[in-house]
Structure 1
């Protein structure tokens, strides 16, 4: 499975690195990685290894495809009926699925990382998970506001 993963450089401005499930590809942005590495006082190569292992962790997640389909299904339900009373629960479910996906990727990555990078790995992991939780909350609030605007006809 891992031998089939493609790895490509990108100029995508919003992500330092991400796993694209449909393409089975890990994309990375060198410029963002360089900046992020310096935030952790790590050299580029070590930081790259840490976040690359995290993305491999997504690829190894046996539930990722199912979770991806579940999130897409919930988003479709919201789109089809923006005034449903269930949308708040759907949004919360999406947030929790996304957080669990990230936690699982870090869990999988911990078995891939070199022992010499364990301390740095733990720092990056904790920072990432705290950011993921905050970003998930913000994304869900943004989606909730879009739903309200759709209901009000704005």
Structure 2
């Protein structure tokens, strides 16, 4: 790394230089290169993923930081993010209470993709002109990945609900209760 700075230090500097007071922490999982958690004013990043992306695209680490973190800063500035995230949580609760429908799934997808498109648009202000086309391509790809991730998230939620119901039924059976 040039200047001896880690990816985490570079991201923290970029966030601060962009006028934000956000906590930046390292993660070691497969949620992507970075995520923004509005409830904690937190950006989580995977340094290894940043380095792989730089190598794959023939970019410097600093360019990848600008491209990825600008999107996360877009989330931080999104005025609708909290409201939309709360609605997503409410829709999951409706699914838990009343059952899954395509309409509920579509609402979760709609809200998720709205948040990603807003972050893309808002975050673009932090991207220098010479990186805009790469930024747009990365965000187009991110929309597709977000849709897939969201569908998997809902499927996992439904699977957990099903498992929970089976366990409740087994407990009732063990206790001699009618199902």
Query: What range is the shorter-chain TM-score in?
Result: 0.7 to 0.9
Residue 33 of structure 1 is aligned with which of 50, 69, 85?
Answer: 50
**1:114 matched to which residue of 2?**
128
CA drift of 1:75 comes to: 1.6
Q: Quick one: distance in 1 between partners of 2:86 and 2:40? A: 15
Q: Quick one: distance in 2 between partners of 1:98 and 1:42? A: 29
Q: Quick one: distance in 2 between partners of 1:104 and 1:6? A: 21
Q: Contact 2:66–2:126 (CA<8 Å) still a contact in 1?
A: no
Going from structure 1 to structure 2, the CA distance change for 1:137 and 1:5 (only over 3 Å counts) comes to same
Unaligned runs of 5+ in 1: none
**1:143 matched to which residue of 2?**
157
CA drift of 1:149 comes to: 4.9
Structure 2 counterpart SS, 1:111: helix
Structure 2 counterpart SS, 1:14: coil
Matched pairs, number: 149
**2:4 matched to which residue of 1?**
none
Structure 2 counterpart SS, 1:19: strand
Going from structure 1 to structure 2, the CA distance change for 1:85 and 1:19 (only over 3 Å counts) comes to closer
Unaligned runs of 5+ in 2: 1-18, 168-179
**1:92 matched to which residue of 2?**
106
**1:134 matched to which residue of 2?**
148
- TM-score, scaled relative to structure 1: 0.82
- TM-score, scaled relative to structure 2: 0.72
Tell which has more relative contact order, 1 or 2 (C-alpha 8 A, sep 6+). 1
**1:70 matched to which residue of 2?**
87
Based on CA coordinates, which of the two structures has the bigger radius of gyration?
Answer: 2
Going from structure 1 to structure 2, the CA distance change for 1:96 and 1:6 (only over 3 Å counts) comes to same
* Aligned-residue RMSD, C-alpha: 2.2
Counterparts in 2 of 1:32-51, with a 5 A limit?
32-51=49-68
